[in-house]
Structure 1
Amino acid sequence: MLAKRLKSGQVAYYWNARNADIRSGFSLHREALGTDYATAKNRADQLNLHLDDWRIGRGNRPLLETAANYGTVDWWIQTYLRSPAFEKLKERTKPTYRYQLGLLAELPTRTGHRVGHLAVKAITPAAVDKLYEALRGGKLGTKLRRANHTIDIAKKAWVVVQRTHPQLFPASNPFVGLTRFKTTGTIKPATRTEAFALSDAIWAYGHPHLAIVPLVCFEWLQRPENVLAGYLRWTDYRPRERPANVRIVHHKTGVEIWHPLEEAGIRFYPELEDRLAQLERLAIPVVVTPGIKGSNRPYSFSYAKRIVREARRAAGLPEHVTMTACRHGGMTELGDAELSEQGVMSLSGHRTPDAARGYVKKTDAQRLAAARKRRAWVAELEHAQYESQNGAGRRESE
């Protein structure tokens, strides 16, 4: 996908096939994808899959079974990624599935080859145990979330393809029944001070637009992947029709919120808005790359995480201070402010109380507020009892 700046200042996106593919007979040459990054990327992903199909079987899907890797792990994964089950997934989920299955296929074997080269029948329960160990980073590895997620996806993909090609698979699913390690504890929320310190560090690292993400996650509670994917646009920020609001999109749940920014001229997020005012509006999405190596465009999630990690370490901030931790910190601050669950959900975009509760961590501030209210209740109760007893005594003396 290519990005080009138009005379109007907008960035337009285009999809181009390689000249080598066109010379070999691929029929699609170029397609204009519009100016909305998220829409353009979804369409580009579809076109890339079509090109992949053509490269493997010259546009004929059944020829996938005659490819040289037929019956291998690579073939199994490719077949799943072209299945109706995969197509039914949400667009935001598909890249994760591709990435996690790619991790599995790229693991090295003892013979120096890739797991993707192995026959599907070679994936036994004992092999899965070794794959799981490698995914988590060794016997003492701590990448448990990544490893568990990969195993879950592989288990689903196995069921889908095994049903249509039973002759190539063992009778049982080797990913079922795996003894897995669970992550200990929950995500530690970033404090307000840590969120702003992370923003300062990223800004100083040469990525001012990316530096806005920790603050948007903390203050406006938007998911970091949504900000990075271009779902926070300048056209959403104080638009003419709603000058006191910003539109926050939660693509995971499909919820859109017009988040209030002020009341009676008093701003709710002056620090964040002051930083936004310092940014140059380089594209429709607020958060875009500096444009050092090409045009300004939204960050990939992996690239953004790398920049944040490097900036955090350069600034000497704790390792738990991530973009995700900033959103957890903002949600926890709502709990510290003693908002009701309805109030929390109205700002965060969660659809159920259970989903919101996982983000609002228990803190000393909340415990202090609870103890203060309890003491006030006890004092009021004791006062009522005292009044009741003394009142009865005065009536008897009269």
Structure 2
Amino acid sequence: MALSRLPAYVRPTKLTGGEIGHYWELPHWARPIKDPKTGKLTPAMRHGQACPVQSETLGADLAVVHAKAETLNAALREWRRGEMGAGKLAEGSVAWLFAWYRDQERFTKNKAKTRKDYRALMDMLVAFETKAGQPPLGKRMASKVDATVADKLYSKLKDKGARQATYAMQVCRLVWTWAARHHRITGVKENPFKGMGLKSTAAAGNRETSRAEYNLYRETARKLGFQSMATAAALCFECCQRVWDAFGFEDPDGVERRGIEWAGYQPGVAISLIQSKTGNPVVLPLSIDVAGIGDEPGERVSLYPELEEELARSRAVVAAGAEVIVLEERSGKKYKERRMSSVHRRICTEAGLPKDMTFTGFRHGGITEIGDAGEDDVRAVSGHKTLAVTQIYNKASAEKARRIGAARREHIAALGGEIAK
């Protein structure tokens, strides 16, 4: 067996006397998390379980190094994939209950992002210490968690952030409701997370981005050489698109069709969009014919000039055969979420824009602007299935989309006049 190539996560290090030793080091995503206030280390969590291994010295003997490293890597891989299973947890514990729930169709039917968010909250709860020096919540028996424990847990979590605390309690409510339904398996007969008076939405969410911030963002993105980010911002703000649709992020389940394609864009005429979350197709008219007054001839007015300016700039720099509109400059491929987030933060910092300005805020800003223009029903642009404001279903149409576009232009023009005064 060739031992020249070291196993994953093994690095050589020079020992005293010049001998070469080896060290197995946890990858960054599996390392303990340090509390900046107390300095306390909390193990990384996956699938409701703490990381079972730690970084350690392997010695100088290559045969031993390979044997130990393979064992460590196997344990790390099993933990990362969630293959340790609920059976290896204390049956009936909170950690066991979460692991059991993640095997249920009730959980697996959710979309990948929802499953990921739920897992993160469950992992946080499993590791959470309700009282200093006491075992974490994950080791408590789920059937022993009552309303008093639930209220205290919520109170402590709110100290770390009201938004996360609310979501965590909502996830617990889902889990305990399903567990009580299957009480012969879980031992849970009541749901202590019901009737907590939780708000359905957190008080502070993603703030909407104003048109002034949107304009500055696009200008700065172009200056830094990220035309793709300026175009993506325009697609989110003007077309009210979700971030993953504008960037075409890969759907982990391979079900949703994401990404806005050049084939659906007709300059000055319309742009075709598909809302991946709802599956609703949207055709957004880009211009409107305005009749002349008296003997004056009519004219065609652009409804989304900022959007078409960015599309034209992108079209001039991307490869002729590119199918998707937003592609990263350095690779010519779709953005990865982490890369997009990094570039977005760089643009905001350079422009002096608020730290809480998220890319989702562009969509929120566009929808808010439509409301400010006097239109409550945005479904003809946003692709929503229902009208949340009035709970009345009104058919979305191309004509309504034209009216929304015209109203927005009038609103923007009026806003510009007020600023000039």
Measured against the shorter chain, the TM-score band is 0.5 to 0.7
CA distance 1:91–1:160, shift in 2 (3 Å): same
Q: What's the CA shift for 1:184?
A: 4.1
Q: Normalized against structure 1, the TM-score is what?
A: 0.60
Match of 1:233 in 2: 259
CA distance 1:204–1:122, shift in 2 (3 Å): farther
CA distance 1:244–1:233, shift in 2 (3 Å): farther
Partner Cα separation in structure 1 for residue 139 and residue 322 of structure 2: 43
Matches within 5 A, 1:127-138: 127-136=149-158, 138=159
Match of 2:284 in 1: 259
1:188-247 per-residue CA deviation (whole Å, 9 max, x = no partner) reads 43222211323444566676534433221101111123334255536x224499995433
From 293, 299, 304, the counterpart of 2:336: 299
What RMSD in Å do the two structures reach over aligned CA positions?
4.5
CA distance 1:164–1:248, shift in 2 (3 Å): same
Partner Cα separation in structure 2 for residue 340 and residue 322 of structure 1: 24
Matches within 5 A, 1:310-349: 311-339=347-375, 341=377, 344-349=378-383
From 193, 197, 207, the counterpart of 1:175: 193
- Which amino acid in the other structure matches residue 242 of structure 2? R
- Which amino acid in the other structure matches residue 312 of structure 1? C
| Structure 2 residue 166 is the aligned partner of structure 1 residue 148 | yes
Aligned residue for 2:369, secondary structure, equals helix
Q: Is the 8 A contact 1:198 1:321 kept in 2?
A: no
- Which amino acid in the other structure matches residue 274 of structure 1? A
Q: Which runs of 5+ in 2 are unaligned?
A: 1-69, 251-256, 290-299, 392-403, 415-421
| Structure 2 residue 103 is the aligned partner of structure 1 residue 82 | yes
Q: Is the 8 A contact 1:196 1:214 kept in 2?
A: no
Q: Which runs of 5+ in 1 are unaligned?
A: 1-19, 25-47, 58-63, 370-398
**Corresponding residue pairs, total:** 303
Match of 2:114 in 1: 93
- Which amino acid in the other structure matches residue 272 of structure 1? E
Match of 1:352 in 2: 386
From 251, 261, 271, the counterpart of 1:246: 271
- Which amino acid in the other structure matches residue 158 of structure 1? W
- Which amino acid in the other structure matches residue 351 of structure 1? K
Q: What's the CA shift for 1:83?
A: 0.3
1:144-196 per-residue CA deviation (whole Å, 9 max, x = no partner) reads 33321221122111222343344654532121232547744776432222113
Aligned residue for 1:259, secondary structure, equals strand
1:267-311 per-residue CA deviation (whole Å, 9 max, x = no partner) reads 53333213423554597554456668xx955433x6645653454
From 203, 208, 228, the counterpart of 1:209: 228
Q: Normalized against structure 2, the TM-score is what?
A: 0.57
Identity between Structure 1 and Structure 2 (%): 23
Partner Cα separation in structure 1 for residue 220 and residue 184 of structure 2: 53
Q: Is the 8 A contact 2:273 2:281 kept in 1?
A: yes
- Which amino acid in the other structure matches residue 197 of structure 1? L
Q: Is the 8 A contact 2:269 2:287 kept in 1?
A: yes
- Which amino acid in the other structure matches residue 237 of structure 1? W
From 216, 225, 240, the counterpart of 1:221: 240
Q: What's the CA shift for 1:318?
A: 2.7
